[in-house]
Amino acid sequence: MTAAFLRTRAFRDIVVVLVLVFGVGSIAMLLAHVSPIVGFGALFDGAWGTKGEIAETLVQTTNLLFPALGIAIAFRAGLFNIGAEGQLVMGGFAAGWLGAQFPLPGYLAVPMVLAAGTLAGGVWGAIPGIMRARFKANEVIATLMLNVVAILLTTYLVTGPLQQGGANGSETGPLPKAAQLTHLFDTQLTWAFVLALVLAFVLRWVLQRTIFGYELRAAGDAPEAAKRAGIDLGRTALIAMSLSGAIAGLGGATIVAGALHRFNTGLSPGYGFIAIAVALVGNLDPLWIVVASVAFGMLQSGGIAMQAEAGVPKEVVSLIIGLVIIALAGRRVVASLRST
């Protein structure tokens, strides 16, 4: 493919996103009787002003980066996994519950908690994968339904049969110290951020340089040709969905082990949905997704400061994100993927 074409397309997307962010943002701020300079000033300052604020921006970046990477894997395979939210919740639940239930010594506790989250997210992603591979069931609707089921199921479990001591309402008991992620630079930032960055590089390598990555992209780009070339589409779909869910689940586990130190059913303010925008803006390329997640992490952390300092409701940020998703829904994802 011509590099020039890709560049112009990517360039156009960036222009669209910037116009939406600053255009819609300015209009919304003017409606709220706030000068856009003051509003955006508060947003940027709130995201990058102090060491603590930078750390919070990077925490938000991390929380978006995991599900966005998972979504990208599924989208590249031609599977519209919009269930990252549910996979993240299931991962967080498994991490929080097991971590509190079975206190292990330090060097084992964190790996177990993260592995539990990864596994649970993977299982939650595998369900629509199996439904797709076995019954040709539409994964979009299935993942959408499973998002809600995840919230309801975990609420039921933590308030019912799997209730733990020290829990108030829809949450598990507290994680022991050994199962908590260590903080970096004396801030809220944990090494989950580093883990997410490493994962992005690994996924990039897997997608570009391994046979599995090739098969996955082939299944997404040209399913008919891939099938004729002997690639088992059902198996690829199952693996891609499981992997996608596992990465989102790992993200949920890092939120639990890194910030909340227990599972709470409200652990995600929609990271799994915002991450769709992150993955699309990042052109479904793990490295660009890192850049996009920093931008959206900034919007997330700065939005709160914008509301507090400038009096602009933080919902403006969600409004912009929603519009970005609509505007970028035409990414190359569309083209050939949905022919099976």
Minimum CB separation from other proteins for residue 212, in Å? 25
Best CA proximity match to 91, nearest among 117, 52, 59, 122: 117
Q: 94, 162 in Cβ contact below 8 A?
A: no
Binder among 133, 219, 240, 328 for other proteins (CB under 8 A): 328
Check residue 233 for interaction with other proteins (CB under 8 A): no
**Which sign does the torsion angle of CA 80, 124, 300, 304 carry?**
positive
Best CA proximity match to 70, nearest among 262, 259, 272, 212: 272
Minimum CB separation from other proteins for residue 136, in Å? 8
Q: How far apart are CA 249 and CA 302, in angstroms?
A: 26
Residue range at the interface with other proteins (CB under 8 A); choices 42-50, 92-100, 102-110, 131-139: 131-139
Residue range at the interface with other proteins (CB under 8 A); choices 39-47, 92-100, 155-163, 294-302: 155-163
Check residue 141 for interaction with other proteins (CB under 8 A): yes
Residue range at the interface with other proteins (CB under 8 A); choices 35-43, 110-118, 132-140, 215-223: 132-140
Binder among 6, 108, 137, 225 for other proteins (CB under 8 A): 137
Q: 77, 111 in Cβ contact below 8 A?
A: no
**In the range 77-116, which residues lie near other proteins by CB under 8 A?**
80, 82
Q: How far apart are CA 205 and CA 323, in angstroms?
A: 31
Q: H-helix or E-strand containing 198?
A: helix 192-209
Q: 94, 71 in Cβ contact below 8 A?
A: no
Nearer to other proteins, 195 or 277 (CB): 277
* Chain contacts with other proteins (rule: CB under 8 A): 28, 31-32, 80, 82, 131, 134-135, 137-138, 140-142, 144-146, 148-149, 152-153, 155-156, 160, 270, 273-274, 276-277, 280, 313, 315-319, 321-331, 333-334, 338-339
